Structure formats: C-alpha cells, structure tokens
Amino acid sequence: MTNHEIPAEDLALYALGTLDPEEQKRIATHVETCASCRTELMKLRGDAALFALSAPPVAAPSRARKRLFEEIVQTAAKDKSAPKLRGSWWSVALPTLVSVALLAFGFWLIAQNGLLRHELDEARFAAAQQQAIIDQARQVMETMSAANAQRVTLVAAQTKPQPQAQTIYQRDKGRLVLVASNLEALPKNKTYELWILPANGGAPIPAGTFQPDARGNASLMMPRIPTGVEAKGFAVTVEPEGGSATPTMPIKMLGTTG
Amino acid sequence: MQVLAIDPKAEPERTSDEHMAHAGALTSSDALSDSTLIARTHARDQAAFSALYDRYSGIVYSVALRVVRDPATAEDLLHEIFMQLWRKPEQFEAARGSLGAWLAVITRNRAIDFIRRQKPQEDPEEVYLASPVDLQSEVERNTAMEKVQAVLKEMPESQRNAIQMAFFEGLTHSDIAAKTGEPLGTIKSRIRSALLAVRKAFE
C-alpha cells in the first residue's frame, strides 16, 4: 500500500507494465528508493502471477518437448566438441581468466546488491510486524494500568461487590501482573502487598506493594521477583508503607492455582 | 517424502527421444522440490530439467497462448523460456518467489513484448515476487486455477474486462479508457481492485 506521492493504483499498473512509458519511468525511479513500494510491488506481481492462472489450461504440444530436448542435446554436444585453444596456454588463458573473473565479480556484486536489497525489505517488514506486536502489548498494559480506565467486575446479580484480584504469572520468565478491584481503602501509612506462595512449601515471597485508587481499583505490573518459582498460590496482606519481608496476618485475599 | 537419488555425473547422456521416455519415469515420482530440480539443472542434469518442464510447461504454454492467441508463437515462447531456464537456471532462486509464479509472470511479460513487437523489456533476474501459493504439485496448481476462475466469475463484468485487457492484452489504462469510454481513474482502480481480489482469495 502506498500513502505518499505514488498512488497505489499506479503501482498496480506498473507491476503489469501497462503504464505509459513516462509514467513507467517515474514509478521505476521511485521504487528504487522506496522499500514499502518495493514490498507492495512484489505482492502485486504475486497477484499477477495468480491471475495468469486464469488463462484456459492447454497442454503444450508434445513436439515442443521434442524440439526443446533436441536443442539441449545438440547444445551439450557442441559444448563438448568446441575446439581446444593452441599455443602457449597462459598467453591465451590468463587474460581470459582475468576477464572472466572480473566479469564474475561484477555479476556477483550486482547479484549481492539485489539480494541485500531484498533482505533489507524483508527485515523491515519483520521489524514492522514486531513493532505492531509491541504497540499492541503496550496498549494492553496502558489500558490495564490507566488511572482513568473504567473497571467493572460482573458478579451474580444482587451480590455486594467483593474485593477481587487476578494475577497473571509466568514462572519461567519471572513476570507477574495483578489487577484488583473493589479493594477497601487503607489507613494512612499502610499498603497492600502481594505474596507468592511457593509450591515447595517455602516462605512466602514478597511480590510488590500497591495502593487502590478512590474507586478501589489497583494494579501491579512486573514487580521484581525471582524466576522459576513454582507457585501454589498468591496472597494479599496489608503491610506498613514500603512493604514487609514477611506477611502480616490476617490474609486479606487468597488464591490458589489449579 | 520420497526422494530420488540422481547423481548428475552418473546420468547418461540421452537423445531427445530417450528423454521423452525417461521423463515419464522421473515425473512419476514427482517428489523433488523445485529448488532441488533447479540445483540439479544447474549441474546439467537433463532428467531434473525434464521434470521441471513437465511441471510447468502447461502454465507457460497456456499463458503464452492466451496472450498471443497463436499456437505456433506460443510454442516458440515456451521454447525460448525453457531454453533460458536451461541455460541460466541460476536466474531463478527461492528469493524470487515460487518458480511456477515466476515463470507465469516472465511468460506473460515476454508474450506482451511479442504482441507489442518490441524486444524483451525485462531482465528475468530483476523479477522478484511474493506469492503465497505453492504450485509444485498438480493438485495445488489445479486448486489455484479453480480459485482464480471463481474470483473472476464473481467480479463485475466491467472490472473483469479491464484486468483482462491490461493483463492479457497489455493495454495501458489510457488504451482501455479510450476503448471503453470510461474515466482513466475508474480503469486504474478497477485493475488494482481486481488484483487485490485475487490476493484476498488466497489469504
């Protein structure tokens, strides 16, 4: 897709080679320097290749195969019977070899250039896809942690909303997210603290403190925690501001895995 | 997947008639990928090239015939394109897209050059394309053909005519606008939309 000086329609016509010659040149010049147009051009050519398949299928005549392979066999025979060069071998071979080597190097450079350009396009395409994923992840995080986001917890009708929290935990990466709602307001100098309850029965591991807003909502994103701890559950307690090393009873909220 | 073990050095030279007979044996196993066959063609393996011919000569001939509308000329184009592939198989590499799609585009462009009575305008080495469709097996080729036909059938007639005139007749948008009496912009967007409709059908 193009969103600059080259209309998308012109790029499609360029792919088919059906623009007027001057326009064809103009687009060719632009495409040379525009990676997104080159990528779209490749797609349009792919579309054109598929469109080519709409030609009514007709098998090639068998004589065409015979003719082709006769020529191939003849060419191979000619190559074999080509006269050998006489005289001092190096006086003939050396300049030829040098020319061939230079020519091959030239072709190699051209081929490398094309290949690198193509690889660059692909890398840019991959980077754009990665960026889109990152942008989406960022939007999710922003939405979850936004102070002005409306948070609504649905419960059975006519039930008084209860304090509720959800944790999302990736053990192998040590990543943890908590989203809570309907939390009670805390006395001054107090904070909520989240705890990981290890599956091996070890002591609860502090996983960050958080404060509810005026509407009782809170979130905790990516606290510093150790990686690889298998959790049998999570707990929330009320602690002095700054958090504690061990939980203070009573447990305000508790959830277990599985 | 069955893989044939063909040693190019051990491959005996064949006459063209022997080739005709041998091709059947090779293609019956039809398991070698395009890239393997291209690599073996590069090593002057005529049997591998024969399998490539059997795989794609139908597409090349059909596209050429649809454009030039003359069987003898289409046969010449078929010959020219496969001779070029034999001489320079390295012109095709996987980065250019699928071999079938690449041949279809090269053929169409060469045929258009022919009807415009001009020398080939395009270097096949400059043609890169992105094609989501693999045309290596007959089933895949047939499925793709049916899908494209279905897309064409669903298109409004005016759009179908515009893309066919551009693609198979090589008419410029100005030619088409003059022929149909419709605005240039309309013709342009019809052609692009037609290509995008094909793309969408294969997503």
CATH (domain of A195) = 2.60.40
Cβ B152–A73 below 8 Å, yes or no? Answer: no
Taking the CA atoms of B181, B65, B194 and A15 in sequence, report the sign of the dihedral they define: negative
Residues of B in contact with A116 (CB under 8 A): none
Residue of A nearest to B102 (CA): A49
Closest Cβ–Cβ partner in B46, B65, B191 for A12: B191
Question: Which B residues 76-95 touch A at CB under 8 Å?
Answer: 78-79, 82-83, 86, 95
A250 touches chain B (CB under 8 A): no
- Which is nearest to B68 in space by CA: B27, B116, B18, B3? B116
Beta bridge partners of A239: A191
CATH number where B182 lies? 1.10.10.10
B114/B176 same-domain check:
no
Phi-psi region of A208 (alpha: psi -120 to 50; beta: other; left: phi over 0): left
Backbone angles phi, psi at A191, to 5 degrees: -145, 155
Nearest to B167 among A51, A60, A61 (CB): A51
Answer whether A115 touches B (CB < 8 Å).
yes
Same domain, B122 and B43: yes
Q: Which of B53, B105, B174 sits opposite A48 (nearest CB)?
A: B105
Q: Which residues have a Cβ under 8 Å from the Cβ of B16 and sit 6 or more positions away?
A: A66, A69, A70, A72, A73
Q: What range defines the domain where residue A169 resides? A: 164-256
What pLDDT is attached to residue A137? 72
pLDDT for A99 equals: 76
Domain range for B147 is 137-203
Residue A63's H or E segment, with its range, is helix A62-81
A82 in a structural domain: no
A205 near A233, Cβ under 8 Å?
A: no
Count the domains in chain A.
2
pLDDT of residue B137: 85
| Gap between the Cα atoms of A122 and B45, Å rounded | 32
Q: Do A53 and B59 touch (CB under 8 A)?
A: yes
Residues of chain A with C-beta less than 8 angstroms from the C-beta of B15: 73
pLDDT for res A34: 87
Q: Do B14 and B89 have their domain in common?
A: yes
Contact flag B188-A18 (C-beta cutoff 8 Å): no
pLDDT at A173: 84
In this predicted complex, what is the ipTM? 0.83
Q: Are B177 and B184 in contact (CB under 8 A)?
A: yes
Closest by CA position to A162, among listed A123, A200, A202, A216: A216
Residue at which a domain ends, from B131, B159, B191: B131
Per-residue pLDDT tens listing for chain A (258 residues): 444 678 899 999 999 998 888 888 899 899 888 888 888 998 999 999 999 999 999 999 999 999 999 999 888 777 666 554 444 555 557 667 777 788 878 777 877 776 777 677 666 656 665 666 676 676 677 777 666 666 666 666 667 778 889 888 888 888 888 888 889 999 989 999 999 999 999 999 999 999 998 888 888 888 889 889 999 999 999 999 989 999 999 999 999 886
Whole-number pLDDT of residue A24: 87
Contact B195 A71 (CB under 8 A): no
Domain final residue, candidates B89, B105, B131: B131
Q: How far, in Å, CA of B143 to CA of A233, rounded?
A: 53
Beta bridge partners of A209: A193
DSSP output for A168-220: EEETTTTEEEEEEESPPP--TTEEEEEEEEETTSPPPEEEEEE---TTS-EEE
Instruction: List CB contacts (< 8 A) between A69 and chain B.
Output: 16, 19-20, 46, 50
Q: What are phi and psi of B67, to 5 degrees?
A: -80, -50
Cis peptide upstream of residue A204 (ω within 30 degrees of 0): no
Q: Tell me, yes or no, whether A80 lies in a domain.
A: no
Segments of chain A assigned E as strands: 164-170, 175-181, 190-198, 205-210, 218-221, 231-240, 251-256
Q: pLDDT under 50 in chain B at which residues?
A: 1-14, 16, 19-29
